[in-house]
Amino acid sequence: MRKNLIKVLSGQRRVGKSYLLFQLIDFFKKEDPKANIIYINKEDLQFDTIKDAAGLNDYILSKSKINGTNYIFIDEIQDIIEFEKALRSLLLNEKNDIYITGSNAKLLSGELATYLSGRYIEFTVYSLSYVEFLQFHKLDDNDQSLESYVKFGGLPYLIHLGLSDNSFEYLNSIYNTIIYKDVVSRYNLRNNQFLEKLIEFLADNIGSLFSAKRISDFLKSQQTNIAPNQIQQYCAHLANAYIIHEASRYDLIGRRRFEIGSKFYFENTGIRNAIIGYQLKDRGKLLENIVFNHLLYLRYHVDVGTLHTKEIDFVCERDNERVYIQVALRLDGQETIDREFGNLLAIPDNYPKIVISEDDFKGNTHKGIRHMHVRDFLKVKQLDKLT
């Protein structure tokens, strides 16, 4: 705060970016009741006349004070054409303290990096973590609460609706808004039927390793003929709108990322369940999804590891440190135990290695590799404090 940098809050719609802006506004008003607050919300019709950079610049200048700090808040800035040009101009005044939100990853990172390199800092806002979910809904940490978190996800507004199947109507409306406003309309897509089939396919195959060609081949078998390069493009659009996250394959021997083959996870499991339904048979996929989301929440870059013929669920890197993670629904047989722990034991380095499951494993380690119950893992704030 109060630095000559643009503070960017990015993330999926309805994760709470606007509310964070309101909290910042309240903070500044409490410190100084006369603080000059300039607020623009592009989802509010009263700001519909602000169409482009010139309009944005003119509006803010008309509300600015020459003496003192101008606290500038712009919500959903990606709806303003060439917004980055206005921000570059506004930054010339060191008394402007600028905060923006946006729901398109590529637009924000691409345009800001091009025009404002080194002049902004980005904070990704995710759906509520498990601990935040418990706090919001005033729940105890138990298996039933975990079930609700997996089923309904962590959108903050659910606090007003309650955790029942009626909430899926709200989640469906958010999904439709994101798809048709942030994907179809923004990229002028015409094949909406294919887009919906692709999303359903990804929702049904969370955590499966796929290439665009394999997805294309499958959809052809369903009488939907789409080229692999178009699938790549559509997946990129969905990732830019924060519907899904992509985890690339990483070769632990060659120390490189593969261009072909990725896993996809949903930003919000509640929205995923609203798309294709919530079934107990999907429990393992959803468990893997919420572990992946928590790793993002902890600010890790997450890849899928390959070690010869073995697969490591998550290779997590942050600040030049690494953690390896395997996820299993249950460790209820020797074969499963040997596979999950054995894959990690085969990695020839000494970085921390963790197996996460939904059941209580006898003993908290196996040959030096730590086991954690998923609820314990979801309460962790720093993985490096575990070892």
Domain coordinates of the chain in residue numbers? 6-124, 189-385
Write down the pTM of the prediction. Answer: 0.94
Beta strands in 69-144 (DSSP E): 70-75, 96-102, 120-124
| DSSP-assigned letter for residue 182 | I
| DSSP-assigned letter for residue 126 | P
pLDDT value at position 360?
A: 82
- As a whole-number percent, the residues of the chain with pLDDT over 70 amount to 99
Asked whether the beta carbons of 37 and 74 are under 8 A apart, the reply is: no
User: What integer best gives the mean pLDDT of the chain?
Assistant: 93
pLDDT at 226 over 90: no
Q: What are phi and psi of 52, to 5 degrees?
A: -140, -175
Position of tokens 């940098």? 5
pLDDT value at position 210?
A: 87
pLDDT value at position 260?
A: 78
328-367 confidence digits (pLDDT tens): 999 988 999 999 999 999 999 999 999 999 998 776 788 8
Give me the mean pLDDT over the 201-227 stretch: 88
CA distance 351 to 323: 6
285-299 confidence digits (pLDDT tens): 999 999 999 999 999
121-157 confidence digits (pLDDT tens): 999 999 999 999 999 999 999 999 999 999 999 999 9
52-98 confidence digits (pLDDT tens): 999 999 999 999 999 899 999 999 999 999 999 999 999 999 999 99
How remote is the C-alpha of 62 from its chain's centroid? 36
| Structure tokens, 277 | 């339904």
pLDDT at 269 over 70: yes
Give me the mean pLDDT over the 22-35 stretch: 97
pLDDT value at position 385?
A: 65
CA distance 135 to 213: 43
CA distance 174 to 180: 10
CA distance 245 to 115: 26
Q: In 3D, which of 80, 98, 71, 15 has the Cα closest to residue 44?
A: 80
| Range ranked top by mean pLDDT from 152-156, 208-212, 258-262 | 152-156
Among 108-122, 164-178, 242-256, whose mean pLDDT is lowest? 108-122
The verdict on domain 6-124 having CATH code 3.40.50.300 is: yes
pLDDT value at position 105?
A: 87
pLDDT value at position 387?
A: 53
